[in-house]
Structure 1
Amino acid sequence: MTRIAGRACPCGGGAYAECCEPVLDGVRPALTAEELMRSRYTAYALHQADHVFRTWHPRTRPDRPLVDPDVAWEGLRIVRVEAGGPDDDMGTVEFVARNRGPHGHGELHEVSRFARRAGRWFYLDADPS
């Protein structure tokens, strides 16, 4: 459980306590593919590898997700969302995430695919853009 009470959520979606905290802490599942993507970005920003692992589809999940403590995630911009709503089984979220690491500043531009399994959203895979 990570407390950043009264602070903005790293994903840019509002106050952390109302945005990604309930999903990261397991209080409730993500309701949409975009909400799961935002929570995963926040988990990377807060170095919470357990959430990244838990929300990765078992079919495509690595043995251990790479959450690099030397990388600081500095901003998220959602480019587009296709499907991924509460009644969908698949969804796509395109985003750009800014970061800073040992080699300077960078951006991750990705089109991520999500699948709903047993009523819960999971990250499936991605195409870098």
Structure 2
Amino acid sequence: MDTPDIDQEHESPERTRAESLCPCKSMDSYYICCMPLHRHKAKAKTAEELMRSRYAAYFFRLTDYLVETTHPDTREPGLKKELNKTIHDINWYFLTVDQVVKGGKNDKNGKVEFTARCYIDGEAKELHERARFKRYKGDWKYLAGKAW
């Protein structure tokens, strides 16, 4: 795959981000992993892929993507405003997928259980969530989650 369309002589945050490993922990570069989803050049093929792309969106603070990938049945009217208010207070640094149930290319529903770690005001926190996903007009969307 080609490298990002960025001036080759100047190191930029965008170029560094694209060439770095994706924060979703796929072991691929961000450029070939979640960046195409974030830029609407590709769509998640599985519920797990959408979950990982949403984690990376939290990591990079891409609130529009988070709103767009939330299922309309559960998308709160003030979601974007709430995300914009809180997203800069959290620094995500770790993700592991613990279990996947359905959510494949031919499924309509799926569940992904994951563990994510972050810092909030310098204090380390851990989130365990069992997230539910459902297709909407053919695309995977985050429906709801149960965190503990």
Same fold (TM over 0.5): yes
> Distance in 1 between the 2:68 and 2:18 partners?
24
Counterpart position of 1:83: 102
Question: Which runs of 5 or more structure 1 residues have no equivalent in the other structure?
Answer: none
Counterpart position of 2:24: 11
Q: 2:38 aligns with which of 10, 14, 24?
A: 24
| SS of 2:48 mapped into structure 1 | helix
RMSD: 1.3
Larger Rg: 2
Q: 1:107 aligns with which of 126, 136, 139?
A: 126
| SS of 1:5 mapped into structure 2 | helix
> Distance in 2 between the 1:111 and 1:33 partners?
12
CA shift for structure 1 position 102: 0.8
Q: Deviations over 1:68-126 (max 9, x none)?
A: 10210001000000000010000000000000011500011000000012110000001
Q: Deviations over 1:14-72 (max 9, x none)?
A: 21011111111100111100000000000000010000000000110122242510210
CA shift for structure 1 position 5: 2.2
Q: 1:44 aligns with which of 58, 62, 73?
A: 58
| SS of 1:68 mapped into structure 2 | helix
> Distance in 2 between the 1:108 and 1:48 partners?
19
> Distance in 2 between the 1:59 and 1:89 partners?
15
| SS of 1:30 mapped into structure 2 | coil
Count of aligned residue pairs for this structure pair: 128
More helix by share: 2
| SS of 2:88 mapped into structure 1 | coil
> Distance in 2 between the 1:5 and 1:123 partners?
25
> Distance in 1 between the 2:140 and 2:125 partners?
28
* 2:146 corresponds to 1:116: no
| SS of 1:27 mapped into structure 2 | coil
* TM-score in terms of structure 2 length: 0.83
Question: Which runs of 5 or more structure 2 residues have no equivalent in the other structure?
Answer: 1-12
CA contact (8 A) 2:54 2:66 kept: yes
| SS of 2:53 mapped into structure 1 | helix
